[in-house]
Amino acid sequence: MNQEELLNPIHAFLQCETPQSWVKEASKPENLHIVLLDHLICELKAAQSAMFLIRKYAVDKESADALLQWLKPFEDFAYRQLGNWQDLAKLNTLSKSMVPKSGAPYSEGLIDKMVILIKEELHHFYQVLEIINENNIRFENISSSRYASGLLRHVATYEPNTLIDKLICGAYIEARSCERFAKLAPHMNDRIANFYMSLLRSEARHYQDYLSLAEEIADGDISERIDFFGTIEKELIVSKDSDLKFHSGSFSLQNCTKLATTY
């Protein structure tokens, strides 16, 4: 499948393109550090979100506690700079051999799809770490963008709609990530451009996995809910922003916050 075939469903799913003002700001050499550091945290958060779904909806308490401990070294390094980043590649050994929660109708589908997603996101996390190291970028804690919280604040408060809405939000986050990798790649050096293009296939599949799980659990038409979150996602992307992050909105010279270099 070529790039166009991968991106066509993504473009049809999203209600807008990434504004060119974001591409221009994110591709500036002086902003490379913030794009890569935020991308790193986005990969970890994607793994954490998928892990939360497994822990809450799919496995027993013992498996849930074990999953927390398994992810801890990745969180310790990303948020507290504890440990050696080169050791993390050897720890990405998650398997599907978990004990499903009794009476959980969604456990098999969630475990099957989310375990693969978690392993791939953490592999990407490690690949971003390699690029950060190659570019001598110093680690720093950065604040979250408004994007994911802007979607999740509209999630329903009753089940199974809460789970369905979270899966739809996951689909939009993955689809937007895929679209942005394709947008940024032509403006990056060969090393980063090739890496971004290599991510398109997995990100496109992740969005489809989230969406298919939502449809399966709903056991009915969810197009109205998909459109609802699509409208919210579009507003977050096209509205003015002043905080450059991987999923931030549009920019202008007047409202762009100057970021300190951390090389």
Query: Which tokens belong to 235?
Result: 């507003």
Mean pLDDT of the chain: 90
CATH architecture of 13-238: Up-down Bundle (1.20)
* Res. 122 pLDDT band, cuts 50 70 90: very high
Whole-Å CA distances, 221 to 164, 166, 179, 216, 256:
12, 16, 25, 10, 41
Other beta carbons within 10 angstroms of residue 129's beta carbon come to: 20
Nearest to 234 by CA among 14, 8, 87, 69: 14
Q: What is the CB-side half-sphere exposure of residue 115 using CA atoms within 13 A?
A: 17
- Tens digits of per-residue pLDDT, 67-115? 889 999 999 999 999 999 999 988 888 877 776 777 778 888 899 899 9
pLDDT at 258 over 60: no
Task: For residues 224 and 164, give the distance between their C-alpha atoms in angstroms, rounded to a whole number.
Answer: 12
pLDDT at 43 over 80: yes
Instruction: Considering only residues 38 and 97, tell me which one the structure prediction assigns the higher pLDDT.
Output: 38
What's the mean pLDDT in 135-150?
Answer: 90
Nearest to 199 by CA among 20, 10, 71: 10
Contacts of 127 (CB under 8 A, 6+ apart): 195
Give the range among 28-32, 85-89, 98-102, 218-222 with minimum mean pLDDT. Answer: 98-102
Q: What is the pTM of this model?
A: 0.92
The per-residue pLDDT for 165 is 98
Give the range among 143-147, 166-170, 234-238 with minimum mean pLDDT. Answer: 143-147
The per-residue pLDDT for 20 is 95
The per-residue pLDDT for 252 is 67
- Residue ranges per domain, the chain? 13-238
pLDDT at 45 over 50: yes
The per-residue pLDDT for 263 is 23
Task: For residues 97 and 117, give the distance between their C-alpha atoms in angstroms, rounded to a whole number.
Answer: 15
Percent residues over pLDDT 70 in the chain: 95
The phi and psi torsions of 125 (rounded to 5 degrees) equal -55, -45
Task: For residues 6 and 15, give the distance between their C-alpha atoms in angstroms, rounded to a whole number.
Answer: 17
Instruction: Considering only residues 259 and 207, tell me which one the structure prediction assigns the higher pLDDT.
Output: 207
Burial class (CB in 10 A: 0-12, 13-18, 19+), 204: buried
Task: For residues 63 and 160, give the distance between their C-alpha atoms in angstroms, rounded to a whole number.
Answer: 22
Burial class (CB in 10 A: 0-12, 13-18, 19+), 149: exposed
Instruction: Considering only residues 126 and 93, tell me which one the structure prediction assigns the higher pLDDT.
Output: 126
The per-residue pLDDT for 96 is 72
The per-residue pLDDT for 6 is 87
The per-residue pLDDT for 158 is 95
Instruction: Considering only residues 54 and 140, tell me which one the structure prediction assigns the higher pLDDT.
Output: 54
pLDDT at 214 over 90: yes
Query: Which tokens belong to 234?
Result: 């579009």
Percent residues over pLDDT 90 in the chain: 72
The SS3 call for residue 2 is coil
The SS3 call for residue 240 is strand
The phi and psi torsions of 59 (rounded to 5 degrees) equal -125, 165
